[in-house]
């Protein structure tokens, strides 16, 4: 087996796969290996809380590329291998199975691991996180004997799982510590809309509610809240975010902490080591230059392309506008830009029609949009975000006036 690659990509998820694809598209002819701890070839993660959980999409349909694709392009897949140390001086990594693999350039694309809940009962059977295929296969195996599900965390992943499990006939309770769902990523109008939708579908939504512990002997039987109330559950899903998988790089001296710090071209503070995707901490114009980590397919793919460009001698800085989507019930949410720093928001349309948008502004300029079953606004609103346009507020609130006419 070759133990040296011109490009070694650690992490075989969205970013890792796209980096290899983009390198070959740019006629990179050296050796490339993609090393990942999961046993599968790179697959799409978004369906895990959507169609794959619901049984509507088999695993082979969520593979990012079929096996033959990688072989034809001479991209070596090192699956089921985990990197535990990085030696930047020697240009080599070591794996859990004791191997040393050398590299010319290292691309770190390890995403993150699901954050575990820190309370009694966190390790009982029936307690799940939703990050990998293995996680979701374990849930699917228990579905036939599950009637009641408690979801801890009202972020996108918790809400998507809640929607799908409700569709499958389960009785779902969502427990959220904040006083609204999606508090970290969306404005109040959007939170209220999703709260109403979930309740209308029969979800028992508990806001401003914290967990004391998970009850059960060997299997989870319920979630005890700080109030003392017990929510009975045969299955508990913990959706409280991720911890970026950067320990080997930080231990090797890379700058960072909650993610590894990269420059505009994806380069870390260590020589010949790039980082991309969920684990990469970058200064974003869309966050007023603050160093942020984004967790989206768009970010992983676009950063991968930026790194491939840098490596193949056609550098271009990372400046892609962030976008994201979520599916819950028959609702298609599409977001563009980052709303976190908004100081005002304009509602376009009536949430009661289940088709509307929220436009977020800062100092009168558009910084983001959340579009619910409103693809036209999403497509046309992108230019308002990239152009930081200051539209007339009355026109902006009128859904009959196309956003493209406000640019
Ligand atoms: C359930 C779910 C639903 C989602 N839905 C959406 C959505 O609707 N829209 C959207 O835009 N985004 C969505 N996301 C987020 C999106 O999937 C991530 O942003 C994207 O996968 C990030 O890509 P990545 O390459 O950075 O990391 P990942 O795709 O997570 O890949 C990283 C890989 O590296 C591996 N790894 C970690 N450490 C090591 C190591 N030391 N050695 C070897 N391998 C290692 C991991 O096991 C993993 O396989 C969703 C995520 C989840 C989990």
Task: For 231-265, give one letter per residue: b (16+ CB within 10 A) or e.
Answer: bebbbbbbbbebebbbebbbebebebeebbbbeeb
Alpha carbon of 308 to ligand 1 centroid (Å): 19
Residue 1: the pLDDT is 46
**Quick check: 311 and 303 in contact, CB under 8 A?**
no
The 3-state secondary structure of 245-276 reads CCHHHHHCCCCEECEEECCCCCECCCCCEEEC
**Ligand 1 pocket: which of 45, 140, 239 to mutate (most atoms within 8 A of CB):** 45
The DSSP line for 82-127 is -EEEEETTTTEEEETTS-EEEEEEEEE---EEEPPP-STTTTSBTE
User: 113-138 pLDDT, tens per residue?
Assistant: 999 999 999 999 999 999 999 999 99
Closest ligand 1 atom to 48 CA: 1
Task: Quote the percentage of the chain above a pLDDT of 70.
Answer: 100
* Protein residue with least CA distance to atom 41, ligand 1: 83
C-alpha–C-alpha distance, residues 24 and 255, integer Å:
29
Q: What predicted TM-score, i.e. pTM, was given to this entire model?
A: 0.97
pLDDT digits (tens, 9 = 90+) for 272-323: 999 999 999 999 999 999 999 999 999 999 999 999 999 999 999 999 999 9
User: Do residues 237 and 152 make contact, with C-beta atoms less than 8 angstroms apart?
Assistant: yes
- Contact residues of ligand 1, CB 6 A cut-off: 10-16, 35-38, 45-46, 48-49, 82-83, 109-111, 130-131, 157, 245, 248, 277-279, 295-298, 300, 324-326
Identify whether the C-beta of residue 335 lies closer than 8 Å to the C-beta of residue 371.
yes
The predicted structure's pLDDT at residue 2 = 52
Q: Which atom of ligand 1 is nearest to the CA of 35?
A: 43
Residue 390: HSE in the Cβ half-sphere, 13 Å Cα cutoff: 3
Atom of ligand 1 nearest to the CA of 110: 34
């Amino acid at each position: 087996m070759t133990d040296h690659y011109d490009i070694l990509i650690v992490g075989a998820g969205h970013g890792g796969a796209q980096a290899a694809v983009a390198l070959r598209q740019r006629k990179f002819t050296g050796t490339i290996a993609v090393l990942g701890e999961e046993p599968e070839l790179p697959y799409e993660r978004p369906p895990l809380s959507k169609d794959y959980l619901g049984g509507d999409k088999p695993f082979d349909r969520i593979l990012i590329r079929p096996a033959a694709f990688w072989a034809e392009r001479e991209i070596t897949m090192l699956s089921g291998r985990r990197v535990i140390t990085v030696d930047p001086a020697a240009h080599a990594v070591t794996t859990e199975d004791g191997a040393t693999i050398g590299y010319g350039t290292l691309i770190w694309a390890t995403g993150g691991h699901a954050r575990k809940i820190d309370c009694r009962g966190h390790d009982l059977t029936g307690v799940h996180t939703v990050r990998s295929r293995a996680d979701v296969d374990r849930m699917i195996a228990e579905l036939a004997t599950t009637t009641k599900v408690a979801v801890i965390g009202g972020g996108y992943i918790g809400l998507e799982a809640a929607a799908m499990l409700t569709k499958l006939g389960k009785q779902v309770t969502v427990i959220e510590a904040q006083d609204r769902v999606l508090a970290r990523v969306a404005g109040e109008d959007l939170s209220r809309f999703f709260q109403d939708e979930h309740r209308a579908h029969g979800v028992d939504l508990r806001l401003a509610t914290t967990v004391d512990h998970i009850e059960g002997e060997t299997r989870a039987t319920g979630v005890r809240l700080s109030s003392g109330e017990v929510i009975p559950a045969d299955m508990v899903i913990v959706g409280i975010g991720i911890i970026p998988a950067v320990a080997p790089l930080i231990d090797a001296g890379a700058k960072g902490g909650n993610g590894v710090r990269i420059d505009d071209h994806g380069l870390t503070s260590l020589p010949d080591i790039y980082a991309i995707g969920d684990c990469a901490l970058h200064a974003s114009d869309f966050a007023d230059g603050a160093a942020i980590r984004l967790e989206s397919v768009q970010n992983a793919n676009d950063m991968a392309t930026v790194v491939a460009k840098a490596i193949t001698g056609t550098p271009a800085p990372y400046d892609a506008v962030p976008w994201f989507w979520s599916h819950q019930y028959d609702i298609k949410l599409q977001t563009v830009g980052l709303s976190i720093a908004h100081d005002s928001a304009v509602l376009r349309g009536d949430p009661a029609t289940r088709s509307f948008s929220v436009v977020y502004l800062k100092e009168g300029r558009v910084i983001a949009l959340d579009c619910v079953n409103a693809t036209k606004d999403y497509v046309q609103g992108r230019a308002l975000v990239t152009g930081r346009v200051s539209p007339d507020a009355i026109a902006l609130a009128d859904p009959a006036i196309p956003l493209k006419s406000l640019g």
